[in-house]
Structure 1
C-alpha cells in the first residue's frame, strides 16, 4: 500500500500578482503591506487580500513591527521558510545524493544511497522511492510539510513529462520518474538534467547569483553543462543544449561511451583521467600512485590521481594539468559560442581545481578571440558536491515562486 503525503497548495501560486508579492517578500522581506503596494503598484485592497490568503496557507507570516511613518507601526511580512520543505536528489553514476531544504534553500537534512551496478529502470525508481520514504519518515521534519521533489538526472531528460529519455551511465531509456514518484508520494515532482540543476542551484544560492548569462559545467564521471540565458535555463530544441561532454576535442582521440572519438568527456572525465594514468603506469612511468594502490593498477581512479597530486606527485600533477588543458579547449568553445558572464565548474573532478585551473587558464588565454573573452570568469562551485541536489530543490522553488 502506498502511503500518501499532503501535496503543497501550488494553486495559490498560479496568479501573477501572488507570485510577484511572494518574490518581493522573499527577496526584500520583511516588508509591510503598504511597501508591497507601493513597489508593485497593486492596490492596497488587492495586496491585503492576497496576503491574507498566503498567511492562511502558511506560506507567509507576520513578524516584527516596522518603524512608524506617522500613525500605527506597520506589521511586517516574511516567507515562512521553515514551515515547508523540499527534497532534492542528484542521481549520479554510483550513488544518489538526497538533500532536504526549506523555502530559502537552507540545508536541513542529507543522505546518500548506493546505486547497484547495471540497474534496471525499476531498480532506479525503487531506489528513489526508498530514499524519499526514508527521508520523510525517519527524519525530524513533519511529513505533511514536504511540498515537492526535485530530481537532477544525468543524460537527456524530457522536463515536461519528467522522463529520463537516456541515462548513458546506466544504458537506460525512458524512465518515467515523474509519473511513478507523483503517484507514490502525491506531491509535485520535477525532473531535470543534473548539470542544469547544478547551474540552477548556483544561480539561486551559489556563485552565480549575480549573473543572468551563466554556464555551469559538471565534470564528473561524464561532463555536461547547464546554460542559463537571461536568467532562464536553455534546453534547446530537443533538450540537447549543454552536452559539452560530447563536443569533439581531438579527432584522433580515444573512443567515447557515445561511440564517437575524441569527445571532451573521453579526455577529461573521471574515468578518462584514471585510464590515462593506468596506461602510462603500465608503460613504466614512476608515480606515487603505484604505492597508493599497492601496484593494483585496476584500482586507479580520479580520486587516487588527485590524492597523489596533493602529495606532490609530479606525474599526477602533470596529468591533471593536461586534463585542465582539455577542459580549457571545451570552455573556450563555450565562451566563443555563448559568451557567458561566468562559468562555474562543479562535479567530482572539480575537487582537483587547484591542479586543473592552470591548464584551463593557459588554454583560454592562448585560444580566446578577444581580451574580454579571455577574461571570462571561471570559478568553482560554491555548493560543492550538493550543488545538483540543491539545484533540484530549486526546481520546486521555481514552481513555487514562478512569475510565468
Structure 2
C-alpha cells in the first residue's frame, strides 16, 4: 500500500484555501483571495505549495473580467486516497475513496461469533488489504474508523463494544504500526453523522443531529460544524434516555429507555405482542424481525402498518426532546429502521408538530439518510478528509 502524508500543510490559511477549492472549485486565485479575505500574495504562495504537493491542479482557463483570463484550480482527485471502515456488531465494511469522496472500491467481511481483540485487528488488516489489492497505485493518506460502542477518540481505543463483547481494543496504535498512516477512530454513529455533514444530506448545516435507528439507537451531534463528543466521548447515547418509567427492561439494565420503543428488535416485539392479543396478520407463523414487519407493511398488512405508525410516533417524541435540547437545523435518520420511511416519516413529523414548543421547533427539517449500508464507512473516511481540509 502506497502511503502519503499531508502533515506539512496543517496551517489555518492553507486549510482555508484548500477547503475553498474543495467546495467551490473550479475557482481562480483572485476569487479565493476575494472570498477568504486573504491577500493575493498569500493565496499565490499557498496555491504554489498545494500545486507542488499535487493536492490541487490547474484545470482550465476561466472567463476574463477585463484582464488576462484566470487559471482555474480544482482538487486533484487522482493523487491521494483514504480508507473508511465501519466496524459493527456483525461485519466490517470498508471503502476506498478519493479526496472528493468518490467511491473507488468497497468490500466487507463478516465477524465471527468467537471474535477477540487480536482477531478483530487481523480482520481489519485483511479487509484493508482487500480494498487496496487492485489499487496499488493509489496513495493512501489515512484510515478512518467508525467503531461500534464506546470509544476513546484521542487514543483511538475501542473501550467497550457491547455486541462484540470486546473491551480496550487498541485500534489506532495497532493499525498505525501495520500501515504507517494516520488512523482516526470515532464511534460509528458519530462517524455516520460527520459523513452526512461532510458530503451528505446535511451539507452546509452547521448544527445538525443524525440518529441511527437499528439494533440499537444512538446519535451523532454536529455543533458549529464540529462533532460534539462530550466530556468523556459519551455524547449521543440517546437510546438510553428514559421515556417511560414503567416501560420495558433495556439491554443497558434500565427501565423504559427510548431504545426499547424505536429499535429494530422493539418493532419485532411490538408485532409479536399484537399477534398475541389475537390480531390477524400475514406475520403469523413467521420468524418476526424488524425487516419482516416492514415487508408485511409493504404487502399491505394492517397490523404491520399500525406497528410502524406507532413506532414513528415514538421516534417523533424522542426527536422532539432532541430538538428542544439542541435546536438543530436538521435531523437525519439513518440505520435499518429508516428504510421504513414510507410508513414512519409522516408520523414522526406529526408527533413533532404536536409537541414542539415553537413554530420553528415544529418545522425542524427531518429526513432519512440516502447513504445506504456504507454510510458509516463513508463517514469514517470523512474523518480523515476533515483532517486534510480543515484546521483542527
Report the TM-score range of the alignment, normalised by the length of the smaller protein. over 0.9
Distance 2:330 2:45 in 1: 41
Q: CA RMSD in A?
A: 1.8
Q: Report the counterpart of residue 118 of structure 2 in structure 1.
A: 122
Indicate the SS of the match to 2:233. coil
Given the superposition, is the C-alpha separation of residues 283 and 37 from structure 1 closer, same or farther in structure 2, using an over 3 Å criterion?
A: closer
Distance 1:344 1:37 in 2: 34
Scaled by the length of structure 2, the TM-score of the pair is 0.94
Q: Report the counterpart of residue 251 of structure 2 in structure 1.
A: 257
Q: Report the counterpart of residue 48 of structure 2 in structure 1.
A: 52
Judge conservation of contact 2:2–2:136 (CA < 8 Å) in 1: no
Matches within 5 A, 1:271-350: 271-290=265-284, 295-296=285-286, 299-350=287-338
| Moved segments of 4+, more than 6 Å | none
Indicate the SS of the match to 1:160. coil
Indicate the SS of the match to 2:74. strand
Matches within 5 A, 1:25-64: 25-64=21-60
1:185 matched to 2:183: no
1:74 matched to 2:62: no
Q: Report the counterpart of residue 216 of structure 1 in structure 2.
A: 210
Residue 372 (structure 2) aligned to one of 374, 384, 396: 384
User: How big is the shift at 1:119?
Assistant: 2.3
User: How big is the shift at 1:326?
Assistant: 1.6
Gaps of 5+ in 1: none
1:355 matched to 2:351: no
User: How big is the shift at 1:275?
Assistant: 2.6
1:234 matched to 2:228: yes
1:375 matched to 2:363: yes
Distance 1:94 1:354 in 2: 27
Scaled by the length of structure 1, the TM-score of the pair is 0.92
Deviations 1:222-266 (A, max 9, x none): 110111111111111111111111011211211111111111112
Q: Report the counterpart of residue 9 of structure 1 in structure 2.
A: 5
Q: Report the counterpart of residue 159 of structure 2 in structure 1.
A: 165
Judge conservation of contact 1:67–1:73 (CA < 8 Å) in 2: yes
Distance 2:74 2:97 in 1: 17
Distance 1:37 1:363 in 2: 47
1:110 matched to 2:73: no
Gaps of 5+ in 2: none
Judge conservation of contact 1:7–1:188 (CA < 8 Å) in 2: no
Judge conservation of contact 1:88–1:149 (CA < 8 Å) in 2: yes
Aligned residue pairs: how many? 392
Distance 2:9 2:288 in 1: 50
1:393 matched to 2:381: yes
Given the superposition, is the C-alpha separation of residues 126 and 282 from structure 1 closer, same or farther in structure 2, using an over 3 Å criterion?
A: farther
Indicate the SS of the match to 1:122. helix
